[in-house]
Amino acid sequence: MIGFYLVEVANNNIQDGDHNMGNEFDFPIEPYRIKVVEPIKRLSREEREQKIQQAHFNLFNIAAEDVFIDLLTDSGTSAMSDDQWAGMMKGDESYAGCKNYHHFTESIQSIFGFKHVIPVHQGRVAENILFSTILKKGDYVPNNTHFDTTRANTMHKGGKPVDLIVKEGRDPKSLEPFKGNMDVAALEDFIIEKGKDRIPLVMMTITNNTAAGQPVSMENIKKTSEICRKYGIPFFFDAARFAENAWFIRQREEGYADRSPMEIAREMFSYADGCLMSAKKDGLVNMGGFIACNDDALEEEMTRLLILIEGFRTYGGLAGRDLEAIARGILESLEPDYLEFRIAQVKYLGDRLVENGVPIIQPVGGHAVFVDAGQMFPHIPPSDYPGQALTVALYREGGIRGVEIGGLMFAQKDPVTGKEISPPLELVRLAIPRRVYTNAHLDFVARVCGKINDYRDKLRGFEITYQAKYLRHFTMKLKEKKSAGSTVDAQA
Ligand code: F0G
Whether cis (ω within 30° of 0) applies to the bond prior to 149 is: no
From the CA of 280, give the closest atom in ligand 1.
13
Class of domain 82-332 (CATH, top level): alpha beta
Contact call for residues 122 and 289 (beta carbons, < 8 A): yes
Total H helices, total E strands in the chain: 16, 16
Pocket of ligand 1 from Cβ distances under 6 Å:
73, 75, 122-124, 147, 149-150, 205, 209, 238, 240, 278, 280, 289
From the CA of 367, give the closest atom in ligand 1.
20
| Spatial distance between the Cα atoms of 98 and 305, rounded to a whole number of angstroms | 20
In the predicted model, what is the mean pLDDT of residues 209-215? 93
DSSP 179-207: TT-B-HHHHHHHHHHH-GGG---EEEESS
Residue nearest to atom 12 of ligand 1 (CA): 123
In the predicted model, what is the mean pLDDT of residues 207-220? 95
Model confidence, pTM: 0.92
List 367's β-bridge partners, or say none: none
- State yes or no: is 238 an active-site residue: yes
- State yes or no: is 281 an active-site residue: yes
Q: What is the DSSP letter of 148?
A: H
CA 403 to ligand 1 center in whole angstroms: 13
- State yes or no: is 222 an active-site residue: no
- State yes or no: is 102 an active-site residue: no
Looking at 281, 347, 367, 451, which residue is catalytic?
A: 281
259 against 20, higher pLDDT: 259
Asked whether the predicted pLDDT for residue 150 surpasses 70, the reply is: yes
Q: How far apart are the first and last CA of the chain?
A: 32
CA 150 to ligand 1 center in whole angstroms: 8
| Spatial distance between the Cα atoms of 254 and 194, rounded to a whole number of angstroms | 35
Looking at 18, 70, 238, 273, which residue is catalytic?
A: 238
Whether cis (ω within 30° of 0) applies to the bond prior to 381 is: no
* pLDDT tens digits, 30-79: 999 999 999 999 999 999 999 999 999 999 999 999 999 999 999 999 99
How far, in Å, are 249, 252, 261, 366 from residue 18 at the CA level?
Answer: 12, 10, 13, 15
If one residue of 72, 277, 280 were mutated to test the ligand 1 pocket, choosing by the most ligand atoms within 8 A of its CB, it would be 280
List 418's β-bridge partners, or say none: none
Say how far residue 191 (Cα) sits from the centre of its chain.
Answer: 27
Contact call for residues 334 and 261 (beta carbons, < 8 A): yes
- State yes or no: is 121 an active-site residue: no
From the CA of 126, give the closest atom in ligand 1.
14
In the predicted model, what is the mean pLDDT of residues 250-276? 98
Cα dihedral sign, 254-255-258-259: negative
Asked whether the predicted pLDDT for residue 205 surpasses 70, the reply is: yes
Asked whether the predicted pLDDT for residue 127 surpasses 60, the reply is: yes
Asked whether the predicted pLDDT for residue 490 surpasses 50, the reply is: no
Q: Is 313 helix (H, G, I), strand (E, B) or coil?
A: coil
Asked whether the predicted pLDDT for residue 365 surpasses 90, the reply is: yes
Residue nearest to atom 9 of ligand 1 (CA): 123
From the CA of 279, give the closest atom in ligand 1.
13
| Spatial distance between the Cα atoms of 224 and 182, rounded to a whole number of angstroms | 7
- State yes or no: is 16 an active-site residue: no
CB atoms within 10 A of CB 348: 22
From the CA of 125, give the closest atom in ligand 1.
14
In the predicted model, what is the mean pLDDT of residues 116-138? 98
Q: In the CATH scheme, what is the code of domain 4-74+335-480? A: 3.90.1150.10
CA 75 to ligand 1 center in whole angstroms: 7
Q: Is 358 helix (H, G, I), strand (E, B) or coil?
A: coil
| Spatial distance between the Cα atoms of 372 and 384, rounded to a whole number of angstroms | 15
- State yes or no: is 19 an active-site residue: no
Angle separating helix axes 45-54 and 386-398, nearest 10 degrees: 140
CB atoms within 10 A of CB 8: 14
Contact call for residues 396 and 52 (beta carbons, < 8 A): yes
Q: Is 288 helix (H, G, I), strand (E, B) or coil?
A: coil
491 against 455, higher pLDDT: 455
**What is the chain's mean pLDDT, rounded?**
92
CA 484 to ligand 1 center in whole angstroms: 33
If one residue of 278, 401, 470 were mutated to test the ligand 1 pocket, choosing by the most ligand atoms within 8 A of its CB, it would be 278
Fold match between domain 4-74+335-480 and domain 82-332: no
Q: Are strands 116-120 and 368-372 parallel, antiparallel or unpaired?
A: unpaired
| Spatial distance between the Cα atoms of 292 and 266, rounded to a whole number of angstroms | 14
In the predicted model, what is the mean pLDDT of residues 337-357? 97
Residue ranges covered by each domain of the chain: 4-74+335-480, 82-332
For position 415, what pLDDT does the model report?
A: 87
In the predicted model, what is the mean pLDDT of residues 409-432? 92
Looking at 16, 139, 148, 384, which residue is catalytic?
A: 148
DSSP 428-463: EEEE--TTT--HHHHHHHHHHHHHHHHTGGG---EE
Q: Name the pLDDT band for 24 (thresholds 50, 70, 90).
A: low
CA 241 to ligand 1 center in whole angstroms: 9
From the CA of 431, give the closest atom in ligand 1.
19
365: closest CA among 209, 220, 167, 239? 209
Residue nearest to atom 10 of ligand 1 (CA): 123
| Spatial distance between the Cα atoms of 467 and 380, rounded to a whole number of angstroms | 21
